[in-house]
Structure 1
Amino acid sequence: MKKLPPLLVYTVLRLLAFLVPLAILWFFFPIFREFWWLAALFAALIGMSISLLFLRTPLSATSREIYERRAARRPGKTTDEDVEDGETPEA
């Protein structure tokens, strides 16, 4: 079985961290049906808190994969550090 990409896993978990609290607020608290924007605001705050507390590992895996893809994309390009290392100071 093929492993799912970390970006997909992290995106789905972040969406669930927002949508589950939104659904709970919407269905179990009738006042939030009238003030939908307040339910969305609270769900966003709850989702952000959940992701900061529990989604650190998927975030790290996603960041690592993005970094590796970007590093592999331009293997022959010279960077500023390479140019500076090649410079010799004139006395």
Structure 2
Amino acid sequence: MKLPPLLVYTVLRLLAFAVPLAIMWLFFPIFREYWWLAALFAALIGMSISLLFLRAPLSQASREIYEKRSASSRTSEADEDVEDQASPND
């Protein structure tokens, strides 16, 4: 069973945030007191990891979203053409 690329990318992004956050909480006692600072650093680290290593899953997810949206726009254009042909010409 193949997982949707958007789900894979989302899970990897969440892991890129959660793993650094857990490491900072477990191994650095100062971050237990300043939890907001740990969350900020984890967000920055997660964003950096995402930009460096998750480019392929991002492009697959983007491609899938584009294909779904272009398919739906093609059907709506076809509907509009049928409606235009059905309307009486003045």
- TM-score of the pair, normalised by structure 1: 0.82
Indicate the structure whose relative CO is greater, using CA pairs within 8 Å and at least 6 residues apart. Answer: 2
Please name the residue that 1:4 is paired with.
Answer: 3
- What RMSD in Å do the two structures reach over aligned CA positions? 1.1
Q: CA deviation at 1:77?
A: 2.0
**How many pairs align?**
77
List runs of 5+ in structure 2 lacking aligned partners: 79-90
Distance 1:77 1:15 in 2: 37
Higher helix share: 2
List runs of 5+ in structure 1 lacking aligned partners: 79-91
Please name the residue that 1:84 is paired with.
Answer: none
Distance 1:52 1:77 in 2: 36
Please name the residue that 2:54 is paired with.
Answer: 55
SS in 2 for 1:4: coil
Please name the residue that 1:27 is paired with.
Answer: 26
Q: CA deviation at 1:67?
A: 0.1
- TM-score of the pair, normalised by structure 2: 0.83
Please name the residue that 1:89 is paired with.
Answer: none
